[in-house]
Amino acid sequence: MKNAILTTLNEGGLTLWALLGLAVMIYSLVYVVWRHGRKLRLRVDAGAWKKPMAVAGDLPWTTERPGPREWTRRFASFELEEIAWVERRLPFLGVLIAAAPLLGLLGTVAGMLVSFAGMASGGSSPPIDTISAGISRALVTTQAGLVIAIPAAFLLALLKRQSESTHLELQRQLHEELQGGQIA
């Protein structure tokens, strides 16, 4: 199994190794964003944004209900620090995902160039080994680019939905607080 993987990676050339590195980056970022998003949703559900921030002059023992301006300030602060962390990473993840099939296409072009060079060097009887190696490289890198990008695109859609859902819940809670806690 290990030898088969290494053989395939070597057949794909540098492009396939680059695709492997890109896949590690993509799926690592997917995991980090997903994990942060889950923790963020738990914090939003617990109302973490409602807790007062440490601001000079705040009295931690005050029992007054915060006014609309304070709720809005807390909401904006939480949104800028927490929600934005996830949302800043989603476009970059999208770019990485879009790069995978393009990098696979680059490997296709490189593989076809190897094939054509083999045909040109052989005269009337081109070396079949060179031609088949080029075609193999072309197919392997194209396949790898698509295998990386297609599931990652679905995961990106799920991460966007997770972020939107968390943001909507945060907005719902703010609306509830601005209405005096009377909305269920």
Tell me the whole-structure pTM to 2 decimals: 0.77
CB contact at 8 A, 86 and 36: yes
In this predicted structure, what is the pLDDT of residue 64? 65
Q: Does residue 183 have a pLDDT over 80?
A: no
In this predicted structure, what is the pLDDT of residue 116? 82
What are 155's two structure tokens? 């995961």
Half-sphere exposure of 119 (CA within 13 A, CB side): 10
Helix, strand or coil, per DSSP, at residue 53 = coil
Amino acid at 49: W
Q: pLDDT confidence of 164, banded at 50, 70, 90?
A: very high
d(CA 142, CA 16): 9
pLDDT digit string, tens, across residues 13-46: 888 999 999 999 999 999 999 999 999 888 888 8
Q: Does residue 63 have a pLDDT over 90?
A: no
Q: Kindly list the domain boundaries of the chain, sorted by start residue.
A: 2-50+65-178
- Tokens 């695109």, residue located: 153
What's the mean per-residue pLDDT of the chain?
83
Helix, strand or coil, per DSSP, at residue 108 = helix
pLDDT digit string, tens, across residues 82-121: 888 899 999 999 999 999 999 999 988 888 887 887 777 7
Q: pLDDT confidence of 60, banded at 50, 70, 90?
A: low
Q: Of residues 139 and 131, which shows the higher confidence score?
A: 139
In this predicted structure, what is the pLDDT of residue 184? 44
